[in-house]
Amino acid sequence: MNFVKTMSNNKTNKTNSPSRSRWHKPLVRNIKRVEQSNPNKVQTPQSEFKGGLHIIPLGGNEEVGRNMTLFEYGGDIIILDMGMQFPEEDMPGIDYIIPNINYLKGKERRIKGVILSHGHLDHIGAAPILLHNLSYPLVIGRDMTIAMVKKKMEDFQKGSSQYLKAKRIKSVDEKITLGKFEVEFFDVEHSIMDAVGVIIKTPEGTVIHPGDWTMEKGPVDGKSLTYNHLAKLPSPRILMLESLGAIVGDAGRVSEEEMYRNLQKLIYEAKGKVVIGTFSSQIKRIGHILEYAEKIGKKVALDGYSMKMNMEIAKQLGYVKAHKDTLVSVAEIHKYPENRIIIVCTGAQGEGNAVLSRIITDNHKYIKIKKNDTVIFSSSIIPGNERTIQRLKDSLYRKCDNVIHSDIMDVHISGHCSAQDIQKMLIQVSPQFFLPVYANYYMLKEAEKLAVKTGFPKEKIFVLDNGSILEVKKGRAEVLLKKVDASYVMVDGLGIGDVGEVVLRDRTQLAQDGILVIVAMIDGESGQLRGKVEVHSRGFVYLKSSKDFIGEINVLVKDIISKTSSKDHTTNWGYVKDNLRDKIGEFIFKRTERRPMILPFIVEM
């Protein structure tokens, strides 16, 4: 999946810190743990379970994103996906969340492999951190996926991709042995190249997991996929199914072919330049546009970091065949007649500083919208963004006569299943157990209802929470009482280290939650606090009416300084400041659910 942001998580998703550069520090320093919403359900990780196959979702079962599932059998562990939870990376003010791997601590040697279903960030985005923390286990995926992981690792920390131990899946017919697991693959259809379905075989059961998937009607490459062959796999078959489309009906759904026909017609007939806003994760679509442009002699300019990066990888692997002259930089578009230019960019969600918004608000250095241009929103609306997109469209309609979005013409399809697809899949695979996964809880429950409607026995459907353990043993399945820690792990930072975005994020934070400045005078010799700690607030709380609260912050500041400084001149003040930022931030968040920017100043006297 590539787009949905879970609104409730965004609140806890911001950083306390100003724009410090994070990427030169050890990886672990960037990761913060925050409390889970329901701490009662976390129990101490159990080291050994007796017998059976254990399926443990660490993320992706209560949200869209941070997809990661553990399979444990006979002491061996394999992992499917290592995703992060986060919206498009060009949305300001937002960090991301990764799966919690507490349960795997001390079990690193038992991890026989990490299979990555495809290269979208909600499936691989946490890999740079988690692979590092798990001492780089073997990673299995198709070419595009492995290339994306490598790029992500390099973005996260330069040079780190040299530690990646990767096994490429060369063909879906390949069979590999990972410890006591036999792993096989099958083709799936999704919006990125090289998505693959995974079959995990153990003597206790066969897990079938397509990753993200859709059953498109008439996909452009001709073949419509069916899954009847999976019904021949040994039972009990456990179907784990990404169920994001459980609430999406088939009615009015167009085929990939129709969507491309619509896009091509718009591009072909455009009298001015064409601007297409889409998700950077729609790699197949962007590739298709590029190839079509070349066919009709138009030039394409990509704008948006992730979009350029993804297309670069797809081209290198030969998945997008375009002459190098077809792609031009946005700075060069003025060299061509307007009707020969197509701009593909991110920001169709109205994200403040993203490319499309900048174009529409006349803040783009190279691209200005004219009346006869064609602007196409080739994306769905992420829930919560409706108003922003509406405003964006309104200002666009003032500037341009040809604005096309999905309400007018089918210029987007999602790459995910529909409710009917889920039912078809269930009938074709005919599993003994059904686990809807990789979506919000309500979608998983809707998928359960869909299954029941096909006659699937309700008692054999398991909607697992993150951290639940499903044990499959002797043909039976049950959810164990024990749970493993699946609480949030927040990553404080932006993977691409782009100053512009960091500054923007700080601004968002300042605008929403204000700033708190802490000034402490320290005796340089003794390392001890001298005099009163000063606390200043702007846009956070009104100090005069919050005396008690500020008093508590004062006490906490003194306490943190005395605990983190040494009694002589050897104190590491950077460390003290980091502690102040983190601990005061946590304290304030617990009390107010706000995250003001915290700036600690330590003045040595």
Rounded to a whole number of angstroms, the minimum distance from the CB of residue 119 to Zn ion is 8
Strand, helix or coil for residue 265: helix
Total site size for Zn ion, rule CB under 5 A:
3
Residues 581 and 601: their CA atoms lie apart, in Å, by 10
Site string for Zn ion, 519-548 (x = CB under 5 A): ------------------------------
Scanning 57-65, 68-76, 112-120, 242-250 for contacts with Zn ion by CB under 5 A, the matching segment is: 112-120
Residue nearer to Zn ion on the CB measure, 286 or 504:
286
Rounded to a whole number of angstroms, the minimum distance from the CB of residue 223 to Zn ion is 20
Residue nearer to Zn ion on the CB measure, 288 or 358:
288
Rounded to a whole number of angstroms, the minimum distance from the CB of residue 118 to Zn ion is 6
Residue 72 burial (10 A CB sphere; 0-12, 13-18, 19+): buried
72, 103 Cβ separation under 8 angstroms: no
The HSE-up count of residue 442 (CA atoms within 13 Å, CB side) is 3
CA dihedral 285, 288, 290, 295 (to 10 degrees): -160
77, 101 Cβ separation under 8 angstroms: no
Which residue from 212, 446, 485, 501 is in contact with Zn ion, where contact means CB under 5 A? 212
Residue nearer to Zn ion on the CB measure, 212 or 410:
212
Residue 377 burial (10 A CB sphere; 0-12, 13-18, 19+): buried
Rg (CA), the chain: 26
Residue nearer to Zn ion on the CB measure, 283 or 472:
283
Does position 308 interact with Zn ion (CB under 5 A)? The reply is no
Residue nearer to Zn ion on the CB measure, 89 or 485:
89
Residue nearer to Zn ion on the CB measure, 219 or 600:
219
Residue nearer to Zn ion on the CB measure, 286 or 403:
286
Rounded to a whole number of angstroms, the minimum distance from the CB of residue 212 to Zn ion is 4
Scanning 25-33, 44-52, 201-209, 212-220 for contacts with Zn ion by CB under 5 A, the matching segment is: 212-220
Rounded to a whole number of angstroms, the minimum distance from the CB of residue 432 to Zn ion is 27
* Total residue length of the chain: 605
Does position 151 interact with Zn ion (CB under 5 A)? The reply is no
Scanning 162-170, 207-215, 331-339, 488-496 for contacts with Zn ion by CB under 5 A, the matching segment is: 207-215
The helix (run of H) or strand (run of E) holding residue 467 is: none
Residue nearer to Zn ion on the CB measure, 225 or 517:
225
SS (H, E, C) 90-150: CCCCCCEEECCCHHHCCCHHHEEEEECCCCCHHHHCCHHHHHHHCCCCEEEECHHHHHHHH
Residues 136 and 118: their CA atoms lie apart, in Å, by 19
Residue nearer to Zn ion on the CB measure, 124 or 327:
124
Rounded to a whole number of angstroms, the minimum distance from the CB of residue 438 to Zn ion is 9
Residue nearer to Zn ion on the CB measure, 148 or 359:
148
Residue nearer to Zn ion on the CB measure, 212 or 303:
212
Q: Are strands 165-168 and 176-178 parallel, antiparallel or unpaired?
A: unpaired
Rounded to a whole number of angstroms, the minimum distance from the CB of residue 191 to Zn ion is 7
Does position 285 interact with Zn ion (CB under 5 A)? The reply is no
Which residue from 66, 120, 284, 412 is in contact with Zn ion, where contact means CB under 5 A? 120
Rounded to a whole number of angstroms, the minimum distance from the CB of residue 257 to Zn ion is 21
Does position 142 interact with Zn ion (CB under 5 A)? The reply is no
Scanning 116-124, 329-337, 438-446, 466-474 for contacts with Zn ion by CB under 5 A, the matching segment is: 116-124
Residue nearer to Zn ion on the CB measure, 1 or 101:
1
Scanning 126-134, 211-219, 258-266, 542-550 for contacts with Zn ion by CB under 5 A, the matching segment is: 211-219
Neighbours of 73 (CB within 10 A): 24
Does position 95 interact with Zn ion (CB under 5 A)? The reply is no
The type of residue at 192 is I
Scanning 91-99, 118-126, 199-207, 450-458 for contacts with Zn ion by CB under 5 A, the matching segment is: 118-126
Rounded to a whole number of angstroms, the minimum distance from the CB of residue 264 to Zn ion is 24
Residues 59 and 132: their CA atoms lie apart, in Å, by 18
The type of residue at 198 is V
Under DSSP, the state recorded for 159 is T
How far, CA to CA in Å, does 283 sit from each of 111, 192, 310, 319, 489?
A: 31, 5, 7, 10, 28
Rounded to a whole number of angstroms, the minimum distance from the CB of residue 2 to Zn ion is 6
Nearest of 29, 60, 4 to residue 439 by alpha carbon: 60
70, 77 Cβ separation under 8 angstroms: yes
Scanning 95-103, 115-123, 287-295, 325-333 for contacts with Zn ion by CB under 5 A, the matching segment is: 115-123
Does position 63 interact with Zn ion (CB under 5 A)? The reply is no
How far, CA to CA in Å, does 177 sit from each of 112, 140, 186, 354?
A: 9, 11, 16, 44
Residues 584 and 589: their CA atoms lie apart, in Å, by 8
H-assigned helices in 514-546: none
Scanning 17-25, 204-212, 352-360, 513-521 for contacts with Zn ion by CB under 5 A, the matching segment is: 204-212
Rounded to a whole number of angstroms, the minimum distance from the CB of residue 144 to Zn ion is 12
Residue nearer to Zn ion on the CB measure, 1 or 553:
1
Rounded to a whole number of angstroms, the minimum distance from the CB of residue 124 to Zn ion is 10
How far, CA to CA in Å, does 13 sit from each of 363, 397, 416, 462?
A: 28, 34, 26, 29
Rounded to a whole number of angstroms, the minimum distance from the CB of residue 145 to Zn ion is 11
Interacting residues toward Zn ion by CB under 5 A? 1, 120, 212
